[in-house]
Structure 1
């Protein structure tokens, strides 16, 4: 298990424990984090799990693959640190990861 911090649109931080090997989206859904829907179940095809990775963590994540980048280009909140939560697989190196969640995915 590793700790992940989700920061909502009101800047309220919630620290949760998540399983190594799970996706960041699964950790958010399992912990009822508002702002993450994950309609496609983690296949990267709906863009309802967009988050902004905290600036201090951006360079520690592998870059998005082509499909994720294409999905991110289709959303209004596409920022340089935007990622699909479903495309981030949690590992021990991501212990302490901080991500910012939008008010809504719609």
Structure 2
């Protein structure tokens, strides 16, 4: 989770009104992908980490600082992308306080 927090810090001052979020994907104890939310209206941290990891997502664990969103806004739901990528386990730093986005 510390690595995911470090990823999130890269988005400081760039994501408003959205929160800064970081994600790291680990498979067999090795980091295979990482990403952060770079700017409002662009792919979220989970999507960037999944793209970075590619096919290594299957069966892996994603550590994400905020629960993956479960709604469509300017971007599609991250929760669906997490499932489609074949990630086996999701570890979140905190539940999303936004009632529209949580539940992923």
TM-score interval (norm. to shorter): 0.3 to 0.5
| Structure with the higher helix share, 1 or 2 | 2
Please give the TM-score of this superposition, normalised by the length of structure 1: 0.33
TM-score, normalised relative to structure 2: 0.34
